Chains A and B, each alone.
Chain A
Amino acid sequence: MLAYAIRRILLLIPVLIGMTIVTFSIIWLIPGNPAQTILGEQATPEAIAELEEQLGLNNPFWVQYGDYIGSLVTGDLGVSMRTNNEILTEVWPYLAATMELTLFAMIFALIVGVNAGIISAWKQNSIFDYTCMVIALVGVSMPVFWLALMEQWIFAQELGWLPTVGRNNARDPIEAITHFYVLDTLIQGNFEQTITALRHLVLPMIALGTIPMAIIARMTRSSMLEVLRSDYIRTVQAKGSGQLIVIYKHALKNAAIPVLTVIGLQTGALLGGAILTETIFSWPGIGRYIYEGISYRDYPVIQSGILIVATIFIFINLLVDLLYSAIDPRIKYD
């Protein structure tokens, strides 16, 4: 298990290096002068030239890449050009905001998706099954941003049930400790604020979680069906175990393996989809951070932002892989 984990981590190294090359060259290739952006449309050319010099933007590619890797290795993600702050420290609130959102979205997707999938597979070809699968089909076809807009329109603007945007109520701002607001309010014992934080989470969570939910539901159903047809399930039935044991002990664990893969992959989709959801719901997360970085040509922020997201993504997939080997004893020995 440990050897397997180490092996998997070592295998990540070339990917990580590849990623840094990609992130770095993306930025290097982007047209536009960051100095101009920093100074804005009403800046003088002299000021721009001066700033370029300071930022070392005139060095050749490999020198800049070398510097970049050099500082990455020491844990230095660079300094945001927009804010002049260390990205490593600055990024946390954004990251936490995104993580809170994606976490909730994933939990939502999992709870709804897995259960819908199980029941659909169990009651194959029932009305429930058909309804669920049609909903799931529509779900996977849903453009996140449109869903988000529609939700906002209907539930926030027309019905006024839930807040339109943001993470908390500006009148009663949540005091950030970990920047996971739900957690923070719980730590502080301010349950009223917990409710506020949760209310703000509902719409973006559903918007972001719908596609993974649909995909998970479909995946759970099909892998459940496949497992339910397998020989060992027949064995379990033949020895007289009850339906619940068949489904929840034997079938689900086996069906979980492909579902886990989907979850790992969907986390990437979530992190990517966050950029859209966060834009619509004014969620100050990493997606917005990168997006703002792009429009300000904030090179270090784009580089590091994308790198952070991609790293999280591959580590989640690593986690999924390790989880496999926890579930599936065959993997350890491979």
Chain B
Amino acid sequence: MSAEPILEVKGLKTYFDINGGVLSKKVGEVKAVDGISFSMQEGEILGIVGESGCGKSTTGKSILRLIEPTAGEVRFNGEDIMQLSSENVRKLRRDMQIIFQDPYASLNPRHTVGKIIGEPLLVHGIGSKTERKQKVKELLETVGLRSEHAKRYPHQFSGGQRQRIGIARALAVNPKLIICDEPVSALDVSVQSQILNLMEKLKKEFKLTYLFIAHDLSVVKHISDRVGVMYLGKMVELANKDLLYDEPKHPYTKALMSAVPVPDPDIKQERVILQGDVPSPSNPPSGCAFHTRCPSCMDVCKTDVPIWQEVAPNHQVACHLYNETTKEENVI
């Protein structure tokens, strides 16, 4: 843990403008990502979970500057990506890749698989034409497809196979970090496990680092080393996975854990059923964003934003329950 982190995110914020009103002026903003900080070591898998719309994808895309963040710092190997020119960001993308959720939408339907996988090589000027062809074949075999598949088009493949193509494409330029934006949530269970296994295998083989986004807690738990939980644009808890799953601290994490149905008739866990729905990120509640649904909500939660702090080794939480200072201040 002493090594330089490969990726360091500090106070990342991405807001989307809401236009409206008579003259289509900006009338508000969606705080899709609202001040997230974390860091990743090389070779680590950091999982991020959270409910739909909590800003997981936006975080992933903002790190790659596929969406321009509003504020914050993203250091990749010590270099602040936010300060780079767009040309340099383009070059940096050799080292950082992304795999998308939807295997149907993320492949250009008009390109052959060979072209899809070979294109990143081409744009980064890697290898000659024949070398690239060879590399495409290798990559296809690496992800469990056959080299003849290079001539086919995406629509001739099943969802799982397409996701393999997406992975091969991401691998093509030998990246160091891959952001996986829900790579398995569109897949059936039986196929999902194939992909998860493949990803794990590749990670070892290529010494990759994954930022693994998912909403399925069991998947995240299976694959990650550390897990962060997001709620409404904010990270509420981040810890080693065992720590997090065994001793969740944030009330939201607790509720989330208990809500996951377990396919075992013998385990009848106590459910914490949350009331109401996730509030809109365009109009987040004051104070702690979770206070509207929180079973252990205090007065302070309604007014003060909890700070992000380490409450145990390798265990960070943003919750007033664990904040002695705020508590004390409030008492005074």
Provide the residues of chain A in CB contact with B20, threshold 8 Å: 334
Q: Is A10 an interface residue (CB 8 A)?
A: yes
Within 8 A of B (CB), among A1-28: 3, 6-7, 10
**A interface, how many residues as a size bin?**
under 10
* Most A Cβ at <10 Å: residue of B20, B21, B22, B23: B22
In Å, the complex CA distance between A334 and B20 comes to 7
Q: What's the nearest-Cβ distance from chain A to residue B16, in Å?
A: 15
Interface of B is mostly: loop
Q: What's the nearest-Cβ distance from chain A to residue B107, in Å?
A: 26
Provide the residues of chain A in CB contact with B22, threshold 8 Å: 3, 6-7, 10
Within 8 A of A (CB), among B21-80: 21-24
Provide the residues of chain A in CB contact with B24, threshold 8 Å: 7
Q: What's the nearest-Cβ distance from chain B to residue A246, in Å?
A: 31
Q: What's the nearest-Cβ distance from chain B to residue A268, in Å?
A: 25
In Å, the complex CA distance between A10 and B25 comes to 13
Provide the residues of chain B in CB contact with A334, threshold 8 Å: 20
Q: What's the nearest-Cβ distance from chain B to residue A6, in Å?
A: 6
In Å, the complex CA distance between A215 and B149 comes to 44
In Å, the complex CA distance between A334 and B22 comes to 11
Nearest residue, chain B, Cβ from A8: B22
* Contact digits for A216-244, partner B, Cβ 8 Å, 1 yes 0 no: 00000000000000000000000000000
Q: What's the nearest-Cβ distance from chain A to residue B141, in Å?
A: 41
In Å, the complex CA distance between A119 and B23 comes to 42
In Å, the complex CA distance between A54 and B154 comes to 72
Provide the residues of chain B in CB contact with A6, threshold 8 Å: 22
In Å, the complex CA distance between A271 and B24 comes to 31
Provide the residues of chain A in CB contact with B23, threshold 8 Å: 7, 10
Q: What's the nearest-Cβ distance from chain B to residue A112, in Å?
A: 39
Q: What's the nearest-Cβ distance from chain B to residue A85, in Å?
A: 39
Q: What's the nearest-Cβ distance from chain B to residue A332, in Å?
A: 11
Nearest residue, chain B, Cβ from A4: B22
Q: What's the nearest-Cβ distance from chain B to residue A14, in Å?
A: 12
Q: What's the nearest-Cβ distance from chain A to residue B145, in Å?
A: 34
Provide the residues of chain A in CB contact with B21, threshold 8 Å: 3, 7
Within 8 A of A (CB), among B136-165: none
In Å, the complex CA distance between A3 and B20 comes to 10
In Å, the complex CA distance between A3 and B24 comes to 11
Within 8 A of A (CB), among B2-32: 20-24
Nearest residue, chain A, Cβ from B20: A334
Within 8 A of B (CB), among A253-304: none
In Å, the complex CA distance between A3 and B22 comes to 7
* Contact digits for A318-334, partner B, Cβ 8 Å, 1 yes 0 no: 00000000000000001
Q: What's the nearest-Cβ distance from chain B to residue A11, in Å?
A: 8
Nearest residue, chain A, Cβ from B22: A7
Nearest residue, chain B, Cβ from A11: B24
Q: What's the nearest-Cβ distance from chain A to residue B21, in Å?
A: 7
In Å, the complex CA distance between A7 and B20 comes to 9
Q: What's the nearest-Cβ distance from chain A to residue B152, in Å?
A: 30
Q: What's the nearest-Cβ distance from chain A to residue B22, in Å?
A: 5
In Å, the complex CA distance between A334 and B23 comes to 13
In Å, the complex CA distance between A7 and B21 comes to 7
Q: What's the nearest-Cβ distance from chain B to residue A17, in Å?
A: 16
In Å, the complex CA distance between A6 and B22 comes to 7
Provide the residues of chain B in CB contact with A7, threshold 8 Å: 21-24
Q: What's the nearest-Cβ distance from chain B to residue A318, in Å?
A: 15
Provide the residues of chain B in CB contact with A3, threshold 8 Å: 21-22
Nearest residue, chain A, Cβ from B19: A334
In Å, the complex CA distance between A259 and B34 comes to 42
Q: What's the nearest-Cβ distance from chain B to residue A10, in Å?
A: 6
In Å, the complex CA distance between A6 and B20 comes to 12
Nearest residue, chain B, Cβ from A6: B22
In Å, the complex CA distance between A12 and B130 comes to 57
Q: What's the nearest-Cβ distance from chain B to residue A177, in Å?
A: 40
In Å, the complex CA distance between A7 and B24 comes to 8
* Contact digits for A185-210, partner B, Cβ 8 Å, 1 yes 0 no: 00000000000000000000000000
Residues of chain A having any CB pair with chain B under 8 Å: 3, 6-7, 10, 334
Closest 6 CB pairs of A and B: A7-B22, A6-B22, A10-B22, A3-B22, A10-B23, A7-B21
User: Given contacts A3-B22, A10-B22, A334-B20, could you give 7 more A-B pairs where the C-beta distance is less than 8 Å?
Assistant: A3-B21, A6-B22, A7-B21, A7-B22, A7-B23, A7-B24, A10-B23
10 pairs of residues in contact across A and B, judged by CB atoms under 8 Å: A3-B21, A3-B22, A6-B22, A7-B21, A7-B22, A7-B23, A7-B24, A10-B22, A10-B23, A334-B20
